[in-house]
Amino acid sequence: MASVRCKLAHYLENLQDMDLKKFKMHLEDYPLQKGCTALPRGQTEKADPVDLATLMIDCNGEEKAWTMAVWIFAAINRRDLHEKAKRDEPEWENAHVSVVCREESLEEEWMGLLGYLSRISICKKKKDYCKKYRNYIRSRFQCMKDRNARLGESVNLNKRYTRLRLVKEHQSQQQREHELLAIGKTLAKVGDGPMNSVNLELLFEPEDQHSEPVHTVVFQGSAGIGKTMLARKIMLDWASEKLYQKKFDYLFYIHCREVSLGTQRSLRDLMASCFPDPNPPISKIMRKPSKILFLMDGFDELQGAFDEHSEALCTDWQKVERGDILLSSLIRKKLLPEASLLITTRPVALEKLHHLLDHPRHVEILGFSEAKKKEYFFKYFSDEQQAQEAFRLIQENEVLFTMCFIPLVCWIVCTGLKQQMDSGKSLAQTSKTTTAVYIFFLSSLLQSQAESQKHHVSANLRGLCSLAADGIWNQKILFEEADLRNHGLQKADVSAFLRVSLFQKEVDCEKFYSFIHMTFQEFFAAMYYLLEEEVQRGVTDMPQNLLELPNRDVTALLENYGKFEKGYLIFVVRFLFGLINQERTSYLEKKLSCKISQQIRLELLKWIEAKAKAKILQMQPSQLELFYCLYEMQEEDFVKRAMGHFPKIEITLSTRMDHVVSSFCIKNCQNVQSLSLRLLHNSPKEEEEEEEETAQHSDVDHFIIPEPSVASSHRLRRCCLSHRCCSHLSYVLSGNQTLVELDLSHNALEDCGARLVCMGLKNVFCSLKKLWLVNCCLTSACCVDIASVLSTNQSLTRLYLGENALGDSGVGVLCERAKHPQCKLQKLGLVKSGLTSDCCTALSSVLRTNWNLTHLYLRGNALGDMGVKLLCKGLLHPNCKLQMLELDNCSLSSHCCWDLSTLLTSNQSLRQLSLGSNDLGDLGVMLFCEVLKQKSCLLKSLQLCKMYFNYDTICALETLQEEKPELIVVFEPLQK
């Protein structure tokens, strides 16, 4: 029997790094009133789980150490460990039950004891079988096979799995028809904050006490986004007692495609097939259907009619039915309505699924965040140096780095880079387009074939390409062996491709085959139009119906582009352009021993010309989609010829990839007469607008400036601009009444460049409303020119000058003009401008006199407590209308809290206050808590990020949130 020390260490080993840090923090601040001794940080800081368990027991004894752990598990929101540790608490030596003080008779006690033992026996049998099933599920799901794994190779799921971004929102019907067309677009709309994340443990919990319980959850996401991996991880975590311990007794994993193609059976048979032994207690399990969760993976792959009348559905769990009817009955809650469902699907099938469900909860899988991309690379590469080198390379390549938010693409890129490294070749050979990555991956897999088999590989490749094209035209992703034979593929040939992971054979459905991913089918379909026919080879040896192949006429493909249901041809055409790159053509011919035609280049050029001159630009394909095709090709001479047919360009840019693609094409466009760019971005707050990473599209700028009247917004961040371009910008500002936003941040314009820009801003025809000059190498010398704009320009309402060395003197000059009655400034950003308390008197004066100013951003300046005291004088003036004040990292201490507390109860306009990264102290924050409870305080948001709080302060903040729910308090305690 394991000792208390060992059991406690085992629990601590289940904590991830961040949870372990939180656990240590609570150990240091453990409440004295609970009768245990807190552990000093010096002892816990470097302790691993085993050492930590030893320290806890040495300081407090076994019983108190266990009590501390149980309490802290709840405090750090590890309810699974909390509940398990409570159930698993050892019997202590001093624990006893007094029989003397019981009032029941001895007979009643014995009867109660016998009943208790009987219930224990029943529960024990149930728990024993649950445990057996969990062990089986854990062994089944703890390992996974890579797509290119050799026989017997597997990867530990926990070691490879990287957390995905999940949000409780789903796409509208108007959003992207093709799932991978606009890579990164949805992800870019969602921040990294905790407000957007979804807690898997709470998936089936109601939103609030008035909401209905949730019994159906839908995970939706595009192909390769990680739906199946997440489903398998949920199964593994449940089996490992990390998830849904109190919610569900049994989880059943159902692969929709396998069930729909399998033989007829009952739900009982389906459930029984999930168990390790032939006679599981299904009837007993069915007595509590509310404790069952069916995890249906791949609804979009489910074959069968879902428009059947309700009388065709199944209501008896022992009745034998087709697989699709069984699953449809479960989904529609006709069969086992009390059970819970978790369904994964691609967006393309979401509409079909939606009308079958009643009040489902939708969760969208957005793939990897940028931080998780890096984590995936370091998990994939066992060698840390290799991981760093690979990640650095992909990070420099914006297109591929953006695409890596899709786990499948991340895996392909990592696999290709690792093979490059293992072979000793330079990573510089890796290109930057999707086509290049797929070509490299394909050739890497096939080059392991012996030289004598190259002709055989070439023949199989032709069969695969014709099969892929036939499937694309017929919207078919599952193929029978007869389909393979029709395309010249034999069973032995298929096993070879299975071995190299180009083709995946279904485990239980031996007669059905599919490409490992839809984009591979699209890639091979594009190759179908390029592979030259080998007339000399024996066509007569092929089956007669082999001649009935899809039309090789590329004109038919291009004519149907954009019209095909769900846009299945979009990637096919992109790959087509990528494959006719002459360097790639030579590479493929050498590696695959096949001849690739270049004859369609002229046809593609004519098609581009026709689409470029089309009058209705909204017709498919859009100009941006044409640019994607040209970018995929990566041949500047061809692109220049194609772009010569674009007299007018109207595109909307919303992702970094859009910027890169349009930049590549527009720089090769020499005849453009009109350029209209619409930039979509969500950045309502100044701090987001200043620090948001936007596209590096310097090549676009040359074309934006000569045609100023067609664009309302110019974002020229990080474009390597200097003061030499500012005369052009000044001309644009002077003559363009439609330009309302100009972002020149992170360009070395210097004071002379700012002076030229200001000349344009002072023009009577200038209508600019928002100007960003963040990190433009400005000094206090430019403030005279900028100040003159404030008193003359009637339209400028937002000015962001952060990360420039303006100093107190420069800001003083600005403040003098900001007090002018003509100044309409509403938002002023002076982040990290080298300010001290010396400028606060001038800022305070502005707050008293400028009724328009509503937002002031001062973070990263050493204002100190005296500076805040001076600011508060202006903020307390009745004329002050400020709504947002940002004072993060301004060298503040607890001494300023009294002034700020007075401000909070007296100022009637301030709604948002940000004080993060300051040493306000626990007493100062406790004072805020008392003040904020008062009705006279109208503040709606208080930010206290990156600050240390003790236990009492955290409790006070949590109590404040409960008592005043309309006030949002954001605090992220740091460790002491």
Q: Does the pLDDT of residue 33 top 80, yes or no?
A: no
CA distances from 834 to 206, 305, 863 (A): 49, 68, 9
599-625, pLDDT tens digit by residue? 889 889 988 888 887 765 444 578 888
Beta bridge partners of 771: 742, 799
Hey, what are 744's tokens? 């020149």
Mean pLDDT throughout 879-907?
A: 94
234-268, pLDDT tens digit by residue? 999 999 999 998 899 999 999 887 887 778 899 99
910-930, pLDDT tens digit by residue? 999 999 999 999 999 999 999
Q: Does the pLDDT of residue 887 top 80, yes or no?
A: yes
Q: Which range among 55-69, 77-91, 438-452, 831-845 shows the weakest confidence by mean pLDDT?
A: 438-452
Q: Which range among 275-279, 340-344, 463-467, 547-551 shows the weakest confidence by mean pLDDT?
A: 547-551
Residue 682's pLDDT is what?
37
Q: How confident is the model at residue 10 (pLDDT cuts 50, 70, 90)?
A: confident
Residue 857's pLDDT is what?
97
Residue 929's pLDDT is what?
93
Q: Does the pLDDT of residue 73 top 70, yes or no?
A: yes
Q: Using alpha carbons, select from 433, 431, 382, 375 the residue that is nearest to residue 405.
A: 375
Q: Using alpha carbons, select from 257, 293, 258, 288 the residue that is nearest to residue 273.
A: 258
Greatest mean pLDDT among 448-452, 683-687, 700-704, 942-946 = 942-946
Residue 716's pLDDT is what?
64
Residue 650's pLDDT is what?
78
Q: What is the pTM of this model?
A: 0.46
Residue with tokens 């309502």: 684
Q: pLDDT above 70 covers what percent of the chain?
A: 76
Measure CA 886 to chain center.
28
Q: Does the pLDDT of residue 540 top 70, yes or no?
A: no
| Bigger pLDDT: 222 vs 63 | 63
Residue 500's pLDDT is what?
31
Q: Give the whole-angstrom CA distance, residue 147 versus residue 153.
A: 10
The torsion defined by the Cα of 280, 285, 287 and 289, in degrees rounded to 10, comes to -140
Q: Using alpha carbons, select from 741, 745, 750 the residue that is nearest to residue 708.
A: 741
Q: Give the whole-angstrom CA distance, residue 798 versus residue 852.
A: 11
β-pairing verdict for 741-743 and 770-772: parallel
Residue 694's pLDDT is what?
32
| List of residues 6+ apart from 819 with CB closer than 8 A | 845, 846, 849, 850
Q: Does the pLDDT of residue 715 top 80, yes or no?
A: no
| Whether the Cβ atoms of residue 967 and residue 941 lie closer than 8 Å to each other | yes
Q: Is 535 exposed, middle or buried (0-12, 13-18, 19+ CB in 10 A)?
A: exposed
What three-state secondary structure class fits 531?
strand
Q: Give the whole-angstrom CA distance, residue 334 versus residue 339.
A: 11
Q: Which range among 111-115, 327-331, 532-536 shows the weakest confidence by mean pLDDT?
A: 111-115
The secondary structure element, H or E, covering residue 429 is none
Q: Is 17 exposed, middle or buried (0-12, 13-18, 19+ CB in 10 A)?
A: exposed
Residue with tokens 């941006």: 624
Residue 709's pLDDT is what?
38
Q: Give the whole-angstrom CA distance, residue 734 versus residue 761.
A: 7
Q: Give the whole-angstrom CA distance, residue 350 versus residue 358.
A: 14
743-782, pLDDT tens digit by residue? 888 888 999 999 999 999 998 888 889 999 999 999 999 9
Mean pLDDT throughout 302-311?
A: 62
Q: What share of the chain is helix, strand, coil (3-state, %, to 5)?
A: 50, 10, 40
Q: Give the whole-angstrom CA distance, residue 771 versus residue 833.
A: 17
Residue 313's pLDDT is what?
85
Hey, what are 658's tokens? 């859009």
Sign for the pseudo-dihedral over CA of 477, 479, 483, 487: positive
Residue 491's pLDDT is what?
55
622-653, pLDDT tens digit by residue? 888 888 899 888 888 999 999 888 877 777 77
Q: How confident is the model at residue 657 (pLDDT cuts 50, 70, 90)?
A: low
The dihedrals phi and psi of 124, each to the nearest 5 degrees, come to -65, -40
| Whether the Cβ atoms of residue 313 and residue 335 lie closer than 8 Å to each other | yes
Residue 756's pLDDT is what?
92
Q: Does the pLDDT of residue 498 top 60, yes or no?
A: no
Hey, what are 466's tokens? 């014709």
Residue 476's pLDDT is what?
77
723-748, pLDDT tens digit by residue? 787 887 888 788 767 678 888 888 88
Which bin fits 562, alpha (ψ -120 to 50), beta or left (φ > 0)?
A: left
Q: Which ranges of 736-824 does DSSP label H, i.e. alpha helix?
A: 750-761, 783-792, 807-818
Hey, what are 539's tokens? 């066509």
Q: Which range among 232-241, 354-363, 532-541, 812-821 shows the weakest confidence by mean pLDDT?
A: 532-541
Q: Which range among 96-105, 376-385, 423-432 shows the weakest confidence by mean pLDDT?
A: 96-105
On the CB side of 843, CA atoms within 13 Å amount to 28
Q: Give the whole-angstrom CA distance, residue 268 versus residue 403.
A: 42
Residue 149's pLDDT is what?
55
Residue 185's pLDDT is what?
38
Which bin fits 217, alpha (ψ -120 to 50), beta or left (φ > 0)?
A: beta
Q: Does the pLDDT of residue 122 top 50, yes or no?
A: no
Q: How many other CB atoms are found less than 10 A from the CB of residue 205?
A: 13
Residue 61's pLDDT is what?
86
Q: Using alpha carbons, select from 647, 657, 707, 720 the residue that is nearest to residue 677.
A: 707
Mean pLDDT throughout 484-498?
A: 62
Residue 218's pLDDT is what?
92
683-707, pLDDT tens digit by residue? 333 333 333 333 333 333 333 343 4
Residue 940's pLDDT is what?
94
Q: Does the pLDDT of residue 209 top 80, yes or no?
A: no
Q: Is the preceding omega at residue 621 within 30 degrees of 0, hence cis? A: yes
Mean pLDDT throughout 300-312?
A: 66
Residue 107's pLDDT is what?
46
| List of residues 6+ apart from 276 with CB closer than 8 A | 132, 133, 136
547-580, pLDDT tens digit by residue? 467 778 888 888 887 565 445 688 889 999 999 9
Mean pLDDT throughout 457-474?
A: 83
Q: Which range among 392-406, 423-437, 638-652 shows the weakest confidence by mean pLDDT?
A: 423-437
Residue 102's pLDDT is what?
37
Residue 1's pLDDT is what?
56
| Averaged confidence pLDDT in the chain | 78
Q: Does the pLDDT of residue 94 top 60, yes or no?
A: no
The secondary structure element, H or E, covering residue 440 is helix 434-446
Q: Give the whole-angstrom CA distance, residue 269 versus residue 288.
A: 18
Q: Does the pLDDT of residue 896 top 50, yes or no?
A: yes
Q: Using alpha carbons, select from 938, 931, 919, 918 the residue that is nearest to residue 957.
A: 931
Q: Does the pLDDT of residue 56 top 80, yes or no?
A: yes
Q: pLDDT above 90 covers what percent of the chain?
A: 28
| List of residues 6+ apart from 9 with CB closer than 8 A | 49, 50, 52, 53, 54
785-817, pLDDT tens digit by residue? 999 999 899 899 999 999 999 999 999 999 999
Greatest mean pLDDT among 6-20, 128-142, 330-344 = 330-344
Q: Using alpha carbons, select from 330, 308, 304 the residue that is nearest to residue 317.
A: 330
Residue 456's pLDDT is what?
65
Residue 86's pLDDT is what?
87
| Bigger pLDDT: 781 vs 396 | 781
Residue 534's pLDDT is what?
58
Hey, what are 271's tokens? 């459930």
Residue with tokens 């004080």: 915
| Whether the Cβ atoms of residue 623 and residue 651 lie closer than 8 Å to each other | yes
Q: Which range among 70-74, 192-196, 207-211, 335-339 shows the weakest confidence by mean pLDDT?
A: 192-196
Beta bridge partners of 297: 255
Residue 860's pLDDT is what?
96
Residue 711's pLDDT is what?
41
828-884, pLDDT tens digit by residue? 999 999 999 999 999 999 999 999 999 999 999 999 999 999 999 999 999 999 999
